[in-house]
Amino acid sequence: MTETVKMVNGETKAGTIVNGSAINGHLPKVVKNGSAPAAEEVHDPPDGGTRAWLVMVGAFLCNGVLFGVINTYSVIYLSLQKQLHDLGDTEASSKAALVGSLTIGTTFLLSPVSGILTDKIGLRLTTLIGGVLTCGGMFLSSFFTHNVSALYFTYGIMFGLGAALAYTPSLAILGHYFKKYLGLVNGIVTAGSSVFTAIMPILLNKLVQETGLATSFRVLSVISSFVIFCALLYKPLQPPPPPPRVKPGRSKFNTLMRSFINFDNWKKKKYIIWALSIPIALFGYFVPYVHMGKFVLDSFPGEGENLPVMCIGITSGLGRLLFGFIADIPRVNRVLLQQIAFVFIGTMTMCLPATGSFTLLLVIALAMGLFDGCFISLLGPIAYDICGPRGATQAIGFLLGLCSVPLTVGPPVAGMLYDHTGSYKLPLILAGIPPLFGASTMFLIRCVKDDTACSDAVMKDSTHQPLAQTAWDCENPTDGKLNGHVREERRATLASSESLTAGIN
């Protein structure tokens, strides 16, 4: 700690700077002598240690369990559709498909709720509630295998809400424990969904055939309970966002909303551009993933229609590890990496109708999976780069909520175009445009600068210099080139009462 002075109402008063160097993009705090250090300090992540690695393993399992169940719904769909058809339901296919659609739609749509709850009640409790909902929803589903309306709630909404509450904290907690290796750790954690998605369909298919849907749902309920144990590992190291300042004349509703939503994120132009560019790109992003099987049947009859999707899944896991590692290299621009991923996926999507051989199609699928992993693994690190540790949770949650719209709308629109044209040429060419456009709009992130006040740390007076000169943006410590690392460390030093100066190391 360092002794200093500050001007308050024209009088010079002694004070102390707590942890004088800047931490995670926040300026040092000034407190009166004799008072305790502020409880809301932002701490440097340990970047290792037993607890940190256990948190990473817990987040890996959480991602794997949640998206392993979601991504293997096709196995449940076939059995549920057959069961409804045998009961004489003429809309068996659409009803069975709606159960899975509700699950993925609810997971992303309610992610903002997860971000808000995390800031209000904490990462651990939010994940715990999510784990209970996923486990309970799947267990209740085992009693309603012949009642699709009940499955809409238990499997679709209840499990989806639980997945939303558990998924966002699994990404947000990583920034509490890692900074130098944040990209690589995010890659490992998000690769959990690829690993579980590759294993679970085979096991689940055998389980459904031998035991039926009811027993399979109960087994999935036990697997989903792992999320509860993962929650116990999530001990947050960073403080929650400070309560909003109550301004005179502000309505009660406005004050109430500010107590739940971190509006500081939406004051950041960089976040707004990024959070709008991603959904734009996703309007066409997932079209080839959904329609690849039918495209193969039409273009290459007799070949394995599921093989390209398997290739995408395998290289997606590898891409998350590879680009997570690359993103941690100093001077690597994480946003630019994500733009490159969108450009490649958009271009390769438009090239799909021109593929003349199944081998070439598999090569394209392998490349698409690699860059899919790049896009996914960088969501968390970029949120931390732009919004900092206090705003990252809601930044991730609201981004995923915005993504729910294109995830739901894009593939059906492509299906409608296919029904009208009888070919995938036009749908796939049009599907390649949104990723390219989204990548282009992300260039605006480099053109704007967020103006954030650092009034808590910088005391100004008409005849005195600031306590600490602004060396870099206190809310956005990276310009995209330094990978989130602090460029310059400031330390406020003792000065005379006539002239307060600051030393910059």
Tell me, yes or no, whether 80 and 225 share the same domain.
yes
Range of the domain at 500: 1-27+454-475+492-505
Dist CA 77 CA 69 (whole Å)? 12
Mean pLDDT (the chain, rounded): 76
> What are the pLDDT digits (tens) for 365-415?
899 989 988 888 888 888 888 888 778 778 888 888 888 888 777 887 888
Please tell me the predicted confidence (pLDDT) of residue 140. Answer: 95
Least confident among 2-6, 379-383, 452-456, 471-475: 471-475
CB contact at 8 A, 83 and 146: yes
Check pLDDT > 50 for residue 156. Answer: yes
Within a domain: residue 483?
Answer: no
> What are the pLDDT digits (tens) for 87-133?
777 777 777 877 887 888 888 888 888 888 887 888 899 999 999 99
Could you give the C-alpha distances from 457 to 17, 384, 493, in angstroms and in order?
9, 21, 13
- Per cent of the chain over pLDDT 90 is 20
Task: Report CA Rg, the chain.
Answer: 25
Please tell me the predicted confidence (pLDDT) of residue 344. Answer: 93
**pTM score, two decimals?**
0.66
Within a domain: residue 250?
Answer: no
Tell me, yes or no, whether 272 and 234 share the same domain.
no
Please tell me the predicted confidence (pLDDT) of residue 241. Answer: 61
Dist CA 369 CA 151 (whole Å)? 32
Please tell me the predicted confidence (pLDDT) of residue 43. Answer: 64
Check pLDDT > 80 for residue 209. Answer: yes
Dist CA 128 CA 483 (whole Å)? 32
Beta-carbon contacts of residue 257 (< 8 Å; ≥ 6 apart):
none
Within a domain: residue 97?
Answer: yes
Tell me, yes or no, whether 61 and 123 share the same domain.
yes
Residues 414-419 have a mean pLDDT of 82
Please tell me the predicted confidence (pLDDT) of residue 239. Answer: 66
Neighbouring-strand partners of residue 6: 13
Number of H helices, E strands in the chain: 20, 5
Beta-carbon contacts of residue 347 (< 8 Å; ≥ 6 apart):
432, 436
Tell me, yes or no, whether 222 and 152 share the same domain.
yes
Which CATH number is 174's domain given? 1.20.1250.20
Tell me, yes or no, whether 3 and 53 share the same domain.
no
Tell me, yes or no, whether 88 and 101 share the same domain.
yes
Within a domain: residue 248?
Answer: no
Please tell me the predicted confidence (pLDDT) of residue 244. Answer: 59
Alpha helical stretches, state H, 286-424: 287-299, 307-327, 334-351, 358-377, 379-421
DSSP 504: E
Which own/partner contact pairs does 248-257 have at CB distance under 8 Å and 24+ positions apart? none
Tell me, yes or no, whether 19 and 52 share the same domain.
no
Tell me, yes or no, whether 296 and 378 share the same domain.
yes
Check pLDDT > 60 for residue 481. Answer: no
The structure tokens listed for 185 are 């750790």
Dist CA 452 CA 472 (whole Å)? 11
> What are the pLDDT digits (tens) for 425-467?
898 999 999 999 999 999 998 888 765 543 333 333 333 333 2
Total domains, the chain: 3
Check pLDDT > 60 for residue 469. Answer: no
CB contact at 8 A, 342 and 392: no
28 burial class (0-12, 13-18, 19+ CB within 10 angstroms)? buried
Tell me which of 487 and 256 has the higher pLDDT: 256
Dist CA 104 CA 170 (whole Å)? 17
Residues 140-164 have a mean pLDDT of 91
How many C-beta atoms lie closer than 10 Å to residue 447's C-beta?
9
Tell me, yes or no, whether 6 and 133 share the same domain.
no
CB contact at 8 A, 238 and 391: no
Within a domain: residue 7?
Answer: yes
Tell me, yes or no, whether 389 and 462 share the same domain.
no
Within a domain: residue 405?
Answer: yes
> What are the pLDDT digits (tens) for 122-131?
889 999 999 9
Tell me, yes or no, whether 339 and 425 share the same domain.
yes
How many C-beta atoms lie closer than 10 Å to residue 244's C-beta?
18
Q: How confident is the model at residue 330 (pLDDT cuts 50, 70, 90)?
A: confident
CB contact at 8 A, 184 and 328: yes
Dist CA 37 CA 15 (whole Å)? 11
Residues 469-483 have a mean pLDDT of 38
The sign one gets for the Cα dihedral 269, 122, 53, 64 is: negative
Within a domain: residue 481?
Answer: no
CB contact at 8 A, 178 and 45: yes
CB contact at 8 A, 103 and 387: no
Tell me, yes or no, whether 121 and 155 share the same domain.
yes
Residue at a domain's end among 207, 238, 269: 238
The structure tokens listed for 402 are 């915005």
Within a domain: residue 190?
Answer: yes
Cα 36 off chain centre by: 36
Cα 196 off chain centre by: 18
Residue at a domain's end among 205, 238, 271: 238
Please name the amino acid found at residue 180: K
Dist CA 61 CA 67 (whole Å)? 10
Strand 29-32: give its sheet, edge to edge. 2-8, 11-18, 29-32
Residues 244-270 have a mean pLDDT of 70
Residues 486-491 have a mean pLDDT of 35
> What are the pLDDT digits (tens) for 274-325?
989 999 998 888 788 777 877 888 888 877 777 887 788 888 888 888 888 8
